Amino acid sequence: MKICFDTFCENGLENTGMQKLADACKVTKAGLIYYFGSKDNIVIESTAYCMAKVEDDFMAKAPTSFSDIERFLQEMPYLTAKLHGTKYRFMYQVYASPQYREYGKAFFKGVNVRYHKYAEMLSGKLQMPVDYIQGMIYIFVRACVHYALFEDEEYLNLQLNTIHTSLRAFITEEMRQKGKIV
């Protein structure tokens, strides 16, 4: 899956045929057809698989404590662009195509479930409510993907400022509830 996806990213959808995929995977064209049935199935399966892996890799670098959030916010947009910019560009090319749009809808429908699981995982480490974290994940992932696609510092900084404002509001409310702010 990864080799096929990387081959598509490197050569583009139109310039990647079954023979190029077979050569990259070091298998026969017939072998690919046997396992996947068609180039379309390879596009669909490898895109969903690899983009889910990209999400998992992203969350593997998630903050380990509240004090680690700033490291994550500063590091991930640039790391995402460096490691995954080409992948995001290809994924959007695939999922924006009328031919694969329904598969894109299915993939993105699963985002709600995956981001909720990530938020649950982070909630205990960050000592923050799941719903609060999930909202920030949406903002931050969108900012990182947008930066990976376009290297748009202005958009990135606007989104990071939104997250920083939310974190300050959270800290203020926590202090107010603990009676440290009247």
Between CA 42 and CA 30 the distance in angstroms is: 13
**Which domain range does residue 58 map to?**
50-177
What is the predicted pLDDT for the residue at 182? 60
Residue 7 counted as domain residue: no
Residue 28 backbone phi and psi in degrees, to 5: -85, 160
Residue 68 counted as domain residue: yes
Residue 159 counted as domain residue: yes
* Chain length of the chain: 182
Question: Which residue, 59, 66, 54, 56, is CA-closest to 123?
Answer: 66
Residue 88 counted as domain residue: yes
Digit-coded pLDDT (tens) for 69-112: 999 999 999 999 999 999 999 999 999 999 999 999 999 998 88
Return averaged pLDDT per consecutive 10 residues of the chain, 182 residues in all. Answer: 96 95 97 96 96 92 96 97 96 95 92 93 96 95 96 98 96 90 67
Q: What is the pTM of this model?
A: 0.89
Report how far Cα 19 is from the mean position of its chain's Cα atoms: 29
Give Rg (Cα) of the chain: 20
